[in-house]
Amino acid sequence: MNKVRKAIIPAAGLGTRFLPATKAMPKEMLPIIDKPTIQYIVEEAVESGIEDIIIVTGKGKRAIEDHFDHAFELETTLAEKGKLKLLEEVRRSSKVEIHYIRQKEPKGLGHAVWCARRFIGDEPFAVLLGDDIVRSEVPCLRQLIHQYELTASPIIGVQPVSDLETQRYGIVDPAGKEGRMYKVANFVEKPALGTAPSNLAIMGRYVLTPEIFKFLELQEEGVGGEIQLTDAIARLNEVKQAYAYHFSGMRYDVGEKLGFILTTLDFALQSDELRKPLLEAMERIMQSEYMTRVIG
């Protein structure tokens, strides 16, 4: 069985939920405190044993390439000023070898993955989406790769969501369960409220096999007129059994505003530097909210 060595990080979406911030800046560069979301994703891939990463970019995404490149002037200045901790942080992001390819038009996630087909060739590979950051003891992608090594089958990372949330996700229709692994009967992209076959939502982590490109090649449009990765995995599942794996860890949705704010708060609460002043500030805010509501 081939090892999973390569990963695709699609980052060519328009990021409309964060406009106007994303008019000239990639959504993937929005920071959770002081680190761009895409760096969390790259670090997870590396910690999971991935050797080669390709980021699918689009118009206005240059900042991503600059971020992962060497910053000679900045590094020299930091070294001269003796700011060694910052220097180490800045260098950390340029240590990984990353390749780039452009998706010329944002035709959907499936199309973005298809754009990287030549880079992948005939090997199993991972896909990581920047909208989901996962904090876990064993990196999320590492957990999925482990399941792939046991089954040689496509593995889709899932976590349960509430009945009201299923309409926002790709949902798995499970055919059987063993521990945290579900045999998949079918996938449904963003089912209408009350029609979801389960609460198992696809969470932006996949290990796929190269046969998927045959189905992406067909360029069939799905929900929203986009070429959907979920649809191609559903087609693949007809010829090669796919599994959904309920990974362990805390998953943060940074692809929409409230999730982004809550992630920032949670990460700040886990920081030695920020926890105390943040709690004090929050207490003051809650107090004045209470006063306004109760006393007027």
Q: Which residues of this chain interact with ligand UTP, rule CB under 6 A?
A: 10-17, 27, 56, 103, 106-109, 111-112, 129-131, 255
Tell me the pairing of strands 31-32 and 6-10: unpaired
What 8-state DSSP symbol labels residue 191?
Answer: P
Interhelix angle for 140-151 vs 37-47, to 10°? 40
Coil, helix or strand for 66?
Answer: helix
In single-letter form, the type of residue at position 293 comes to R
Looking at the Cβ atoms of 27 and 205, the one nearer to ligand UTP is 27
CB of 227 to ligand UTP, least distance (A): 8
CA pair distance 248, 140, nearest whole angstrom: 7
Looking at the Cβ atoms of 107 and 246, the one nearer to ligand UTP is 107
Tell me the pairing of strands 250-253 and 132-135: antiparallel
If we measure between CA atoms, which residue out of 84, 3, 18 comes closest to residue 257? 18
Looking at the Cβ atoms of 181 and 215, the one nearer to ligand UTP is 215
If we measure between CA atoms, which residue out of 285, 256, 259 comes closest to residue 21? 256
Q: Is 119 exposed, middle or buried (0-12, 13-18, 19+ CB in 10 A)?
A: middle
Q: Which residue is nearest to ligand UTP (CB)?
A: 13
Looking at the Cβ atoms of 220 and 238, the one nearer to ligand UTP is 220
CB of 264 to ligand UTP, least distance (A): 17
CB of 33 to ligand UTP, least distance (A): 20
CB of 17 to ligand UTP, least distance (A): 3
Q: Report phi then psi at 172, rounded to 5.
A: -95, 135
CB of 95 to ligand UTP, least distance (A): 23
CB of 278 to ligand UTP, least distance (A): 27
Residue with token string 């943040």: 278
Looking at the Cβ atoms of 153 and 166, the one nearer to ligand UTP is 166
